[in-house]
Structure 1
């Protein structure tokens, strides 16, 4: 019989499920995102910590050898391509290995970029709604 995976309901519960050194790293990432997206709502989504601001903004999670920063489809991967070249990057995630310092400046800049990107998308949606309502 397999052990059931914990279903996290709060970010604190998720973070506290790790060893002290990993908790510290997760808290630093959490604070960096909060400082750069102060209006974002902290949530658990896909059983990992995330921030929402006019849609999903950014996720972060811990694994055996790295912390992952996951970003929904975004131009962030193009804009920060050079900075991200030092890390293993997939379509939607950046792996930050434990044996390297956290790139807090990069996390800060990507968070700020995502806030701006989500605001622009929200404005476009709002504009489309006004246009289609005006034509109705």
Structure 2
């Protein structure tokens, strides 16, 4: 597996359809977490705030993987019933629109866990 150090390098290796979805997710996450920075962590794009990674995301062949850690999967279980999930993963199929409100709410939850908004 190729090792990524920069998000631009990660993006350059995506198929056009994957790139489109990942770019939308990237913009959504940065808008949902003002002041957050982008990083590569575990070889995936992620956003970090207050020294803590809030969420990760990655393109796969059949879906966009959204990795907000385990607690939001439990906290938002009722709103995630239409998605395949596991302990820290939400699989968002490419043939479905991104659940913008849900993603924003999960990011807000993670910001709260990370100690609030950057000052």
**TM-score w.r.t. length of structure 2:** 0.90
Higher strand share: 2
| Contact 1:56 1:72 (C-alpha < 8 Å) held by counterparts | no
**Bigger fraction of residues in helix:** 1
CA apart distance, 1:80: 1.1
Q: How far apart are 1:72 and its partner, in Å?
A: 2.4
By relative contact order (CA 8 Å, sep 6+), the higher-ranking structure is 2
Q: Which residue of 1 aligns with 2:45?
A: 49
Aligned to 1:98: 94
Which runs of 5 or more residues in structure 2 are unaligned?
none
| Residues 15-60 of structure 1: CA deviation (Å, up to 9, x unaligned) | 2211112111001101111001111121001111011113120000
Tell me the number of residue pairs that the alignment of Structure 1 and Structure 2 aligns. Answer: 115
Within the alignment, does 1:119 sit opposite 2:115 as a pair?
yes
Instruction: Give the unaligned 5+ runs of structure 1.
Output: 121-136
Superposition CA RMSD, Å: 1.3
Q: Which runs of 4+ in 1 moved over 2 A?
A: none
Residue equivalent to 2:68: 71
Mapped to 2, the partners of 1:116 and 1:16 lie a distance apart of 32
* Aligned equivalents of 1:15, 1:111: Cα separation in 2: 22
Distance 2:74 2:3 in 1: 34
| Rg larger for | 1
Normalised by the length of structure 1, the TM-score is 0.79
